[in-house]
Amino acid sequence: RGGMGGLAAQRGILFGATLTQGQVVESAEMVRIATEEMAMLVPGFEFKWPGLRPGPWEFDFTGADAMLTFAEARQQAVRGHALVWHGALPGWFGDGPADAMGMRTLLRHHITTVAGRYAGRIHSWDVVNEPVEPWDNRPDGLRDSPFLRRMGLDYIDLAFRWAAEADPTARLALNEYGVEMATPEQDARRTALLKLLEGMLRRGVPVHALGIQAHLSAAAWRDFDPAVLRGFIRRVAALGLECYVTELDVTDRGLPPEVAVRDAAVAHTYRTFLDAALAEPSVTLVALWGISDRFTWMNDSRFARREDGLPTRPHPFDPAFQPKPAWGAIGDAL
Ligand code: XIL
């Protein structure tokens, strides 16, 4: 394989990006870049509950099947994202089943059906996405989600056990955001995560990797300390777990409007982050959460969009699909 995916493979890194069926249909340029540069694809919508679950007992695999077929035709690995996530649930879910048994039945049915259908074809599953939230003020730092409220910690342990049973070959990851920076808030996330992972391993839960989302901010980059990130990755490695960089992108929110200034700062952020992360041998995978600024989730996010209303430039290709300085920076880091 050539392209960036081939370059990364020489270093033992599985490199790829998120892609959606909509982008495949709409943009021959996205298809070209994804085909030439990516050794792995992460369907951005199709494996989430809203993509798979039109109703409480119904499944629609059309989108997920199409994305897998697309990737397999290109001999690309596929990450499954995500089996359990409070942040993307279909309307019919509401607050979910009212009691522990109802929630357990629904989760088990979903995980067994989805992970079972694609068994042997998925490199890694994000089994639980974003389970930690120190702002929710629980002593364990866990997120006060409908899953936790009904089932307690069981929802995490059981989700991994059911996923392992349904697909014994997939690597199983717990995916989290906001753990990259040297701030007190992110320090609290790291502490809560380490405690959670330690407990899971003690209980014999089959977890193989921590997914570090890495939605970064160029304007806040003074709060990045490579030693803090590397120290955290090492503590995770000491538990016997790999780290995956699962959703790498760099918002330019808070930077001045000049494109050259924004692009340079964004490139620097990609470079220094990857230099630090890839210095740790337990980091074996890097996935970008966007290829071209033409298709970015950030303009829709109130946390990531620019306050001045200009379109953000968080990804390594510009809206016309030309490589930006960030693409060179990623290549240099790899
Ligand atoms: C985002 C998608 O990119 C958007 O298109 C969608 O509207 C919302 O979700 N953390 C995650 C990803 O784990 O699933 C999110 O993806 C971005 C934040």
297 lines ligand 1 (CB under 6 A): yes
Token digits of residue 239: 């538990």
Distance from the CA of 145 to the center of ligand 1, in angstroms?
A: 17
Distance from the CA of 303 to the center of ligand 1, in angstroms?
A: 12
44 lines ligand 1 (CB under 6 A): yes
SS3 302: coil
Question: Is the ipTM of this structure higher than 0.90?
Answer: yes
Task: Decide if 14 contacts 21 (C-beta within 8 A).
Answer: no
Token digits of residue 253: 């929110």
295 lines ligand 1 (CB under 6 A): no
Q: What is the chain's pLDDT, residue by residue, as a tens digit (334 residues)? A: 999 999 999 999 999 999 999 999 999 999 999 999 999 999 999 999 999 999 998 999 999 999 999 999 999 999 999 999 999 999 999 999 999 999 999 999 999 999 999 999 999 999 999 999 999 999 999 999 999 999 999 999 999 999 999 999 999 999 999 999 999 999 999 999 999 999 999 999 999 999 999 999 999 999 999 999 999 999 999 999 999 999 999 999 999 999 999 999 999 999 999 999 999 999 999 999 999 999 999 988 888 889 999 999 999 999 999 999 999 999 999 9
CATH class given for the domain over 3-333: alpha beta
Token digits of residue 206: 């089959």
Distance from the CA of 245 to the center of ligand 1, in angstroms?
A: 15
Contacts of 323 (CB under 8 A, 6+ apart): 316, 317
The single residue of 37, 130, 133, 280 carrying the catalytic annotation is 130
Domains of the chain, by residue range, sit at 3-333
CA 207 to chain centre: 16
Task: Decide if 278 contacts 11 (C-beta within 8 A).
Answer: yes
pTM above 0.90, yes or no: yes
The single residue of 46, 133, 176, 247 carrying the catalytic annotation is 247
